[in-house]
A and B are shown apart, each in its own frame.
Chain A
Amino acid sequence: MATIGAFFLAFSAQAGRLSVFVGQTLASILRPPIYFHIIGQQIIRIGYFSLPVVALTSFFTGGALAIQIYYGGNQFNSEAIVSSIVALGITRELGPVLGGLMVAGRVSAAIAAEIGTMRVTEQIDALTTLSTDPHKYLVAPRVIAATLCMPVLALVADIIGIFGGFVVGTQSFGFNAAIYVQRTINFLTIDDVTSGLIKAAVFGFIIAIMGCYNGYYSKGGAQGVGRATTNAVVSASILILAANYLMTSLLFSS
C-alpha cells in the first residue's frame, strides 16, 4: 500500500513537472526571438538524417504487409484487396507509427544525451548566466524541427511503404503493375493521408519533448545521462503508441 502511494506521488510529481516543462516550451516557441539557424541545423539532424531509417523500415513493412494480406485473406480477388489494405494500413497507421518509433529511437536518445551532458557539465547553467533562455535556445528549436520533420518523414514512409507492397505484389504474386497503382490511387482518400500526417506531427512533438525533458532534468554524471537517454526512448515510444490509439479513436470514430 505504501509503495503504491509512493509510486503514485512520484508519478504525479513527474507528470506535473512535465506539464510545466511543456508549458514553458510552448511559451518560449511563441515569444520572439526565434533562432532560425538553429532550427535549420536541427531539421538537418532530425529530419534529413532519419530518412534512410524511416525509408527502410517502411519499405520492408509494406512488403510484409502485402504478403500477410495475400496469404491470410481470400486469394480470390486478392489483387484488389492487397493494394487497398496496404495503402490504408501504411498511410493511416504503420507509416506514422513505425516512422515515429524509429525516429524516437534515434532522435529522442540523441537529444537526451546531448542536453543531459549539457546539464551535468553546467552548460545549461552557463547559458542562463549568459542571459540566454535554455528553453528558447535548446528546447524550442528541437521541438519545432521535430514537429515539422515528422509529417514529411511520414509522407516519405507512406510512399515507400506502398512501393514495398507494390514490389511484392508485382514481383511475387504477378499482379499487373498499372492496375495496382490505379487501384491504390482510386482507393486512397486525402483524409487517409492527412490523418497520418497529423499523427506524425504529434509524434514529432512527443519525440523532441521527451528527449529534451529527460535530458534537462538528468543528474548524477555520466550514469545519469545514460539513464536519461533510456528513459527518453522508452517514454517517447510509449507515449507515441498511446497518443496513436487516442488519435485513431478520435479521428475515425464517426
Chain B
Amino acid sequence: MTAKIALSDVHKSFGTKDVLCGVNLEVEKGQSVVVIGGSGSGKSVMLKSILGLLTPDSGSIKIDGRETVRLARGGRADIDHQIGMLFQNGALFDSLPVWKNVAFCAIQNDGMGEADARDLAVDALKQVELGAELLDLSPASLSGGMHKRVGLARAIASKPEIIFFDEPTTGLDPIMTDVINHLIRDCVQELGATTMTITHDMTSVRAIADKTALLYKGEIIWQGTTDALEASDDPFLNQFINGLPHGPIEVEGQQLDAAPNAEAD
C-alpha cells in the first residue's frame, strides 16, 4: 500500500540558512501524525512544502503516490481540493464575515449560493461547537480560541481527506487547548481523514498522535508510536518531552549555561 503522504530526502534552504536537510517521513491513510520540534526548527516550512506554497530545493513529496514537487498550481488542483489546512494564526480573511470564511471554498470553486453556503457554515461551526450567532461577525471581533475554531471549521468544511494543523493550540489557555485537541480528534474520526499536526505542545501529542516525529536541525531524528514515545530513552526526545533546559538539543540563540528561557514563537 502506498503511503498517503511520503516525503523523502526533502531539502530547503533560504539563502545560506539550511532549514530542511533531508526530511524523510511517511503518513499512512487515516493516520494522525504529530511533528514536534522547537521554534524555528522548520516545521512550518515542511508543511508549506507539502502544500506547495514553498518549493523544496531537492527531494520528493508524494501525495497518494503522485509526485507534487514542482507541480504547477493548475496541475495539483485535484490534490488541493482534498486538503484542508489550519494556519498557525488562523489566517481568516478579515474582509469577509465568518460564514463566507467557512464556506469560502464552496462559494469560490463550486459557485454555491448564499443560503446553501450559510447552511454549510452552520454545519461546520457546529462540528467545532460554535453556534450560528457567529455567522455574520467579522473575524476581527473573535477571541483567540474562537478564531482558531473558525479556522478549524473552514479547514474541515469541504470534508478533505488530508488535514494539516500548524500549531493549533499555541497561545491558548489550557482549557481551550484541551477543547481544540478533542475537536481535532473528533473531526478526524468523523471524517476518517489523514492528518499531520505540528506542535511543540506535549498535551496535543498525547491527545491526538498515532505517530510522533521529532524534527531537529532539519531532519526527522526520531519517529514512533505514542507508546514508544513514552518508553523511549532517546536523549533528544527526553529533553524535548520533559522540557529540560539542558541536554543534547541546542536551543537557537541560547548561550551555553545561560538561564533557560521558554522560547516563545
Contacts and interface: CB of A to CB of B under 8 A. Distances in A.
Interface of A: 114, 118, 121-123, 125-133, 137
A126 B87 contact: yes
Interface string B168-194: 000000000000000000000000000
B80 interface: yes
Nearest to A131: B80
**B52, B53, B108, most chain A CB atoms within 10 A:** B108
**A121, A127, A131, most chain B CB atoms within 10 A:** A131
20 contacts: A122-B89, A123-B92, A123-B93, A123-B94, A125-B48, A125-B51, A125-B87, A125-B91, A126-B85, A126-B87, A126-B91, A128-B51, A128-B52, A128-B53, A128-B73, A128-B80, A129-B51, A129-B53, A131-B77, A137-B108
A129 B85 contact: yes
Interface of chain A: mostly helix, strand, loop or mixed = helix
Given A122-B88, A132-B108, A137-B108, 14 more contacts: A122-B87, A123-B93, A123-B94, A125-B91, A128-B52, A128-B80, A129-B80, A129-B83, A130-B154, A131-B80, A131-B81, A132-B105, A132-B109, A133-B73
The 10 closest A-B pairs by CB, nearest first: A122-B91, A126-B91, A129-B85, A122-B87, A130-B105, A131-B80, A132-B108, A123-B91, A125-B53, A130-B104
Interface size class of B (residues with CB under 8 A): 20 to 34
A114 to B, nearest CB: 8
Contacts of B88: 122
A123 B179 CA distance: 24
Contacts of A126: 85, 87, 91-93
**A118, A123, A133, most chain B CB atoms within 10 A:** A123
Contact of B108 (A114, A125, A131): A131
A131 B51 CA distance: 11
B245 to A, nearest CB: 28
Nearest to A117: B94
Contacts of A130: 104-105, 108-109, 154
Interface in B86-111: 87-89, 91-95, 104-105, 108-109
Contacts of A129: 51, 53, 80, 83-85
A125 B90 CA distance: 11
A191 B91 CA distance: 49
**A118, A127, A128, most chain B CB atoms within 10 A:** A128
A131 B105 contact: yes
B73 A121 contact: no
Contacts of A114: 95
Interface in B103-146: 104-105, 108-109
Contacts of B91: 121-123, 125-126
A71 B110 CA distance: 65
A127 B96 CA distance: 13
Contacts of A133: 73
Given A125-B53, A126-B93, A131 B87 contact: no
A206 B211 CA distance: 51
A133 B92 CA distance: 16
B185 to A, nearest CB: 22
Interface in B51-99: 51-53, 73, 77, 80-81, 83-85, 87-89, 91-95
Nearest to A129: B85
Nearest to B48: A125
A137 B105 CA distance: 13
Contacts of B53: 125, 128-129
Given A125-B48, A125-B53, A131 B89 contact: no
